[in-house]
Amino acid sequence: MNIADLLAPDAVLPALKVQSKKQLLQELASRSHALTRISERRIFETLVERERLGTTGVGTGIAIPHGRMTEVKTIIGIFARLESAIDYEAVDSQPVDLVFMLLAPENAGADHLKALARVSRLLRDKGTCEKLRSASTAEAMYAILTGDKNGAASSAA
């Protein structure tokens, strides 16, 4: 599974302005609605429900909010770099500035887990995160996120 299978070029947000975790999830729901035409409220409720189970703030400034919904037909993602890091109640208590949201079909099971693992593997790479934090455009971020089909983005400078 490649990141390009999960993320459309127009689903990269290079400087999202939010002040809180709730506002971030609302903004992601709004952007997801624009891509999928699924109810913004339903998407938001799905993301919040998942957060109640435990934070999706995985540490080192990264969050991977996600959820499964019957209305979703194929796994979709949105990547956002926040203009300013926010408190996300992450596992390491560090503020979050890189967010990769995933929505999957209710019955996606293994594919949902594979998508989460793929995103997690990509964002665990420090070099990739540094490039994402210093990229100046959505196009550059998309290229970094999708650049290498084997795992982390290329480590060449």
Do the Cβ atoms of 135 and 97 come closer than 8 Å? no
The catalytic residue positions are 66
Residues of the chain above pLDDT 90, percent: 92
Q: Is residue 16 included in any domain, yes or no? A: yes
Q: What is the pLDDT of residue 143?
A: 96
The amino acid that residue 63 corresponds to is: A
Domain hosting 36: range is 3-146
- The reply to whether 14 falls in a domain is yes
Q: Is the residue at 140 inside a domain?
A: yes
How much is the pLDDT for 109? Answer: 86
Given a cut of 90, whether residue 148 has pLDDT beyond it is no
With respect to residue 156, please indicate whether it lies within any of the assigned structural domains.
Answer: no
pTM exceeds 0.85 for this model:
yes
153: in domain: no
E-state strands within 7-141 = 7-16, 57-59, 62-63, 66-69, 76-86, 96-105
- What are the tokens at 44? 């938001």
Q: 63 near 18, Cβ under 8 Å?
A: no
User: Which pLDDT does position 155 carry in this prediction?
Assistant: 36
How many separate domains does the chain show? 1
> From CA 149, how far away is CA 152, in angstroms rounded?
8
For residue 126, count other CB atoms closer than 10 A to its CB. 11
With cut-offs at 50, 70 and 90, classify the pLDDT of residue 154: very low
The string of pLDDT tens digits covering residues 26-57 is 999 999 999 999 999 999 999 999 999 999 99
Q: Is residue 8 part of a domain?
A: yes
Let me know if residue 155 belongs to a domain: no
| Burial class of 124 by CB neighbour count within 10 A (0 to 12, 13 to 18, 19+) | middle
**Residue 154, in any domain of the structure:** no
Could you tell me the CATH number of the domain that includes residue 127?
3.40.930.10
Mean of the pLDDT values across residues 54-82?
97
- 2-27, pLDDT tens digit by residue? 999 999 999 999 999 999 999 999 99
